[in-house]
Structure 1
Amino acid sequence: MSLVTEHHRHGNNPFGILGKLGRHDDGEQNVLALNVLLLGGRQSGRSSVGNALIGGEEFKTGTCIFGVSMTTEHQLLSRNFPRYLRRKGAESDLTLRVLDTPPSFPRPKSVHELCPEGVHVLVLVVRADMHDNTHLEEHVETLFGPEWRRHALLVITHADHLKEAGLQPSDYLTQTTDWLRALAAKVEGGVSFVENSCDWPSVRGRPIRDRLLNLSARNHHSALTVRTEVSL
């Protein structure tokens, strides 16, 4: 697997890098490249989910200090997974370009600059024991319009708290806050629960990758267009 860090700087051309990642020895490119946007509040586990998706520990994680999040700027990482899937009867690489954002909602122009061809999958991250991001759905719709639901999946982190409370995930979704229950019902990619154990990124990465890959395939790998005329 190849990992590439792409910084938010004017004048960068990350797509030159992607071409190299996806090109085989015969000169033909057989790679599916997907842009994934992580959205969630402070300490939601957003960066940890990003690490699970790329199979590494590159996104900065940890407890915020004096209310300041560990993630203070946009960070874009690309990882190539050779021969991850079959398309039209042939093996194909999967390249994930995962964009992590600060807990304050990302500006449309910033997302467009880093993902000019659009976003294929939205990963909304919420902690099982913290429900302070009630405006998440409103922000996502402002950024992408009503079509965001077809491209979104929900990841609920710190699910170990459910075990401690003796709750099953299905029970949790029926008893949680109204806004989170409504959000879970709207995202067409479904809901994934992950625990906050030290090894969960390596253990949970493949199921989340497969879930977002299936969701993107249902949308024929079309991308959401960022509404850059919106001011946030």
Structure 2
Amino acid sequence: MALVTEHSRHGNNPFRILSGWCRHGDVEQNVLALNVLLLGDRQSGRSSVGNALIGGEEFQTGTCISGTSMTTEHRLRSRNFQRYFRRQGAESDLVLRVVDTPPPMPRPKSVHELCPEGVHVLVLVVRADLPHNNTHLVEQVETLFGPEWRCHALLVLTHADHLKEAGLQPAGYLSQTSDWLRALAEGVEGGVLFLENSCDWPSIRGRPLRDRLLRLSARNHHRALTVRTEVSL
């Protein structure tokens, strides 16, 4: 089936209409395309979170060697989830375009090149067992996107199985963690997700992650953040 994309004229509105032909004649399908940016330190679990979002093993994961991250360049992976949700009574596809970034922070021009329409959701990935790492994250994200970034962000705490081993519940952990991480958890509009570091969690947690992204973007009327390309990090 041949598909033709009709771009919206309303700014960076990510909704598109895909028109195609099938045995039953012409059909039209609503598509929501969201740009998602993964941010986090080395070995935080960014690539694993990206794999969970797109439901595959597209991002390289593994243990870094001599402090070097597995991710050394910006990587974009995408997937179309057909008939993922309903909007105004019609079934809509969800297209996730997920960008993994090399730590400590992405290059603004690279992000702009991959997401010229802007970034709809920021996923901040932090290891729950290493809460004192990456304390500069908030300052750098604000430098990249300005003060509105919190409305487009959610926090994912990986390696949450260590909390169980320590006998901590999520609420108890957040009340006892470092000041910067607690403030971050309280400040992001998308809330906090705890993910265990097990081999099966990407496939199990993929749908809840995508649903959380979709709700957060809808809360912002699917408006995208523009990266400040003039800054240098």
Normalised to the residue count of structure 1, the TM-score between the two structures is: 0.89
Q: Which residue of 2 aligns with 1:151?
A: 152
Q: Which residue of 2 aligns with 1:186?
A: 187
CA distance in 1, matches of 2:171, 2:35: 29
Structure 1 residues 23, 198: CA separation in 2 closer, same or farther (over 3 Å shift)? farther
Contact 1:120 1:222 in 2 (8 A): yes
Which range moves more in the overlay, 148-157 or 130-139?
130-139
Q: Which residue of 2 aligns with 1:85?
A: 85
Q: Which residue of 2 aligns with 1:111?
A: 111
CA distance in 1, matches of 2:19, 2:129: 44
- Residue 88 of structure 1: CA displacement? 1.1
Q: Which residue of 1 aligns with 2:100?
A: 100
Structure 1 residues 24, 159: CA separation in 2 closer, same or farther (over 3 Å shift)? farther
SS at match of 2:140: helix
The one-letter code of the counterpart of 2:59 is F
User: How many residues matched?
Assistant: 214
- Residue 107 of structure 1: CA displacement? 1.2
The one-letter code of the counterpart of 2:67 is G
Identity of aligned residues (%): 82
Structure 1 residues without counterparts, runs of 5 or longer: 1-18
- Residue 37 of structure 1: CA displacement? 0.2
- Residue 27 of structure 1: CA displacement? 5.5
Structure with bigger gyration radius = 2
Contact 2:35 2:96 in 1 (8 A): yes
CA distance in 2, matches of 1:27, 1:78: 23
Structure 1 residues 91, 29: CA separation in 2 closer, same or farther (over 3 Å shift)? closer
Normalised to the residue count of structure 2, the TM-score between the two structures is: 0.89
SS at match of 1:28: strand
The one-letter code of the counterpart of 1:216 is S
SS at match of 2:202: helix
Q: Considering fraction of residues, name the structure with more strand.
A: 2
Structure 2 residues without counterparts, runs of 5 or longer: 1-15
CA distance in 2, matches of 1:204, 1:214: 16
- Residue 28 of structure 1: CA displacement? 3.1
Alignment of 1:33-182 (within 5 A): 33-130=33-130, 131-182=132-183
Contact 1:43 1:64 in 2 (8 A): yes
CA distance in 2, matches of 1:185, 1:24: 45
Structure 1 residues 170, 145: CA separation in 2 closer, same or farther (over 3 Å shift)? same
Contact 2:29 2:92 in 1 (8 A): no
RMSD value, Cα:
1.5
The one-letter code of the counterpart of 2:30 is N
The one-letter code of the counterpart of 2:76 is L
